[in-house]
Amino acid sequence: MLIRSPIKKIALAGLFIFSAGLVFFSGKAEAQTASAPQFLVTWKASNSYIPSFYQGKALPTLGSQITASVELVSNGRIINLSNQNIYWYEDEVLVGGGAGVQQVTFSPFGTPPSSLILDVELPQYSGGYLTHTIQIPFVNPAAVISAPYPSQEFSTNLLTVRGIPFFFFATSTNNLVFSWSVNGQAGSNTENPQEADITLPPGTPGGTNIDVSLSIAGPDGSTIATADRGLTFQNQL
């Protein structure tokens, strides 16, 4: 790995807009100018599963790849960077660069959960050396148990809960393994492993607590996320 050489850091002011995946920075060159250039940096993670209804951003996890891109804006116009040397560093390690390299794809290293530090540098920019830094969340997979009972109470003898995975290194739920247990007893749904059907025997008294546990394993079995949810049976709501 090529480690970044020591170099004088330039103070930067920036605003990180996470929900849209856009990062705007106001850069300062060593020689101050009346109108400092602004950086527009975008990034996305591939091979990080999110459900179709999820409106947030797919976050990188172990095995994911990150693709980042940069544009430089001055006085409302995009600057041509095709002849500029651009270098990208993840946590001080060079992951790509060269003349006109405005996009880079790399695999994050380190151990989640953490934040990746991604630097982009223009060492020979005409207005002076420029460097900018963004942070990218690096996460572990997560599991959620979805049940249509906002008050955590239900009144039917049959209920169905669903497991929802987030940020697994997978392309679909078919690559994941779902394991369920109810009140400590293992169960399964051979038709749809992502769901658990729970049947209470007749005469179950009101106030009975149902503890549902879920474990989701990644394709290689080494990545596991767990979730628990407690529900209460009531004869009449």
Q: Are both 23 and 131 inside the same structural domain? A: yes
Residue 189 pLDDT more than 90? no
Does position 19 have pLDDT exceeding 80, yes or no? Answer: no
pLDDT for the residue 132: 96
Residues 211 and 146 in one domain: yes
pTM for this entry: 0.79
Tell me whether residue 6 is in a domain.
no
pLDDT at 150: 82
Query: Does residue 33 form part of some domain?
Result: yes
Q: Tens digits of per-residue pLDDT, 197-214?
A: 999 988 889 999 999 999
Among 17-31, 42-56, 100-114, name the one with the lowest average pLDDT. 17-31
Residues 161 and 102 grouped into a single domain: no
3-state secondary structure the chain: CCECCCCCCCCCEEEEECCCCEEEEECCCCCCCCCCCEEEEEEEEECCECCCCCCCCCCCCCCCEEEEEEEEEECCEECCCCCCEEEEEECCEEEEEEECCCEEEECCCCCCCEEEEEEEEECCCCCCCEEEEEEEEECCCEEEEECCCCCCEECCCEEEEEEEEECECCCCHHHCEEEEEECCEEECCCCCCCEEEEECCCCCCCCEEEEEEEEEECCCCCCEEEEEEEEEECCCC
What is the per-residue pLDDT for 15?
A: 28
pLDDT tier at 187, thresholds 50, 70, 90: confident
In a domain, 88, yes or no: yes
Which of 99, 122, 138 terminates a domain? The answer is 138
| pLDDT at position 36 over 90 | no
Find the CATH number of the domain harbouring 110: 2.60.40
In this prediction, residue 4 carries a pLDDT of: 59
- Are residues 21 and 132 located together in one domain of the fold? yes
Give the residue from 120, 138, 156 where a domain finishes: 138
Q: Are residues 166 and 224 in the same domain?
A: yes
pLDDT of residue 236: 63
Range 38-61 average pLDDT:
95
Residue 42 lies in a domain: yes
CATH number of domain containing 185: 2.60.40.10
C-alpha span between 174 and 1 (Å, rounded): 36
pLDDT at residue 48 is higher than 90 = yes
Region 177-203: mean pLDDT is: 90
pLDDT of res. 168: 96
Range of the domain at 98: 13-138
Residue 226 maps to a domain: yes
Q: Are residues 109 and 212 in the same domain?
A: no
Arithmetic mean of pLDDT, 88-116: 96
Q: What is the mean pLDDT of residues 7-32?
A: 36
At residue 23, the pLDDT reads 41
Residue range 108-143, pLDDT digits in tens: 988 999 999 999 999 999 889 999 999 999 999 999
Per-residue pLDDT of 147-171, as tens digits, reads: 988 889 988 889 999 999 999 999 8
Q: Which residues of 168-188 are buried (b: 16+ CB within 10 A; e: fewer)?
A: bbbeebeebebbbbbeeeeee
**What is the average per-residue pLDDT within 173-190?**
90
Does some domain include residue 5? no
Average pLDDT over residues 55-82: 95
- Of the three residues 138, 173, 203, the one that is the final residue of a domain is 138
**Residue 3: band (very low, low, confident or very high) from pLDDT cuts 50, 70, 90:** low
